[in-house]
Structure 1
Amino acid sequence: MRRERSIDSDYFEDLYREKGDPWEFETSPYERAKYDHTLAALPRDRFASVLEVGCANGVLTERLAPRCDRLLAVDVSDTALAAARRRCAALPQVSVEKRRLPEEAPEGSFDLVLLSEVVYYWDDADLDRMARYLRTAVPSGGHLLLVHWTGETDYPKSGDDAVATLRHLLDRAVEIVAEERRDRYRLDLWRRA
Structure 2
Amino acid sequence: MSELAERIHRAFFRMMSLLSRRGQGVFLRRYFDWWHRTPDPWKLGTDDYERHKYATTLDAVPRLPYRRILEVGCAEGVFTDALVGRFPDAEVTGIDISTRALERARKRTEKASFVHADLLSHGLEEGFDLVFCAETLYYVGRAGRLRQASERLVGLLADGGVLVLVHPWPEAASLHRFADADHSLSPVAGRVDTDTHRPFSVSVYRKA
TM-score of Structure 1 vs Structure 2, range by shorter chain: 0.7 to 0.9
Determine whether 1:42 maps to 2:42.
no
CA distance in 1, matches of 2:108, 2:138: 26
Shift of 1:136: 3.2
Determine whether 1:16 maps to 2:36.
yes
Preserved CA contact (<8 Å) 2:76 2:105? yes
Preserved CA contact (<8 Å) 1:127 1:166? no
Determine whether 1:173 maps to 2:184.
yes
1:65 alignment counterpart: 84
Shift of 1:50: 1.0
Structure number with greater CO (CA < 8 Å, separation at least 6) is 1
1:185 alignment counterpart: 200
Matches within 5 A, 1:24-173: 24-44=43-63, 46-66=65-85, 67=87, 68-89=89-110, 91=111, 94-123=112-141, 124-150=143-169, 158-168=171-181, 171-173=182-184
1:154 alignment counterpart: none
Preserved CA contact (<8 Å) 2:127 2:159? no
Preserved CA contact (<8 Å) 1:49 1:69? yes
Deviations for 1:140-164, whole angstroms, at most 9, x for unmatched residues? 211100111237xxxxxx4331112
CA distance in 1, matches of 2:81, 2:114: 11
CA distance in 2, matches of 1:28, 1:41: 20
1:155 alignment counterpart: none
CA distance in 1, matches of 2:36, 2:161: 32
Amino acid at match of 1:102: L
Amino acid at match of 1:141: G
Amino acid at match of 1:115: C
Q: State, as a whole percentage, how many aligned pairs show the same letter.
A: 32
CA distance in 1, matches of 2:31, 2:178: 23
Moved more, 55-64 or 3-12: 3-12
Unaligned runs of 5+ in 1: 152-157
- SS at 1:82 equivalent: helix
Unaligned runs of 5+ in 2: 1-7, 18-23
**TM-score when scaled to structure 1?**
0.85
Deviations for 1:102-152, whole angstroms, at most 9, x for unmatched residues? 21141221011100111121132332223333343212211100111237x
Say how many residue pairs are matched: 181
Q: Which runs of 4+ in 1 moved over 3 A?
A: none
CA distance in 2, matches of 1:147, 1:128: 16
